[in-house]
Amino acid sequence: MTTGPLVVGIGNPLRGDDGVGWAAADVVAADPRMRRARVVTVPGLTPELALEVHDASVVVVVDAGAPGPTPGAITVDEVRTTSEAHWPLRQSHALDAAALRSLAVDVYGRAAPMVTGTVASSRFDHGEGLSSEVAAAIPAVVDEVARIVERSDRRA
């Protein structure tokens, strides 16, 4: 039995746009469409999340992306577990989404469908606060997360 959707906001709110995952997670947590979702914020993906990835109905990871020509643009990608996506034993406290999903499968026998939402950023300097372009993208990020969760609910 699954525990419902899991939304993971990644980043560091003390490094400019790197805090977009946390900012989006705060808004997602308050959104009535997401009342069944468990929302967490973390500096990075770690093995400790594998059980939650196993238990969830769907996992949506929101993170800042590299600076691009269009700060605030959102890219959504499905995370697939492949033979190349095994979690690294030497770096077990810093996983990418595919390695985390692979770990959940390896340890628990299954992983929820997983999607990443990456927001193109413009600055990662020291200091709190998102750039105006990335801050303006937060409502669209939250809407995209809600669409992913609703789509997953219809499939279940």
Superfamily (CATH) of domain 6-155: HybD-like (3.40.50.1450)
Average pLDDT over residues 125-137: 95
Question: What's the whole-number average pLDDT of the chain?
Answer: 90
Q: How far apart are CA 46 and CA 59, in angstroms?
A: 14
Task: Give the pLDDT of residue 1.
Answer: 63
Closest to 115 (Cα-Cα) out of 42, 61, 156, 155: 61
Q: ∠ CA 114-146-58 to the nearest 5 degrees?
A: 25
Tell me the mean pLDDT in the region 81-100.
Answer: 67
Residue 4's pLDDT is 93
What Cα–Cα distance (Å) separates residue 31 from each residue in 14, 36, 117? 24, 10, 17
What pTM did the predictor assign?
0.91
Among 52, 66, 70, CA closest to 140: 70
Q: Which of 124, 101, 115 is nearest to 47 (CA)?
A: 101
In whole angstroms, give the CA distance from residue 75 to residue 16.
19
Residue 2 banded pLDDT, cuts 50, 70, 90: confident
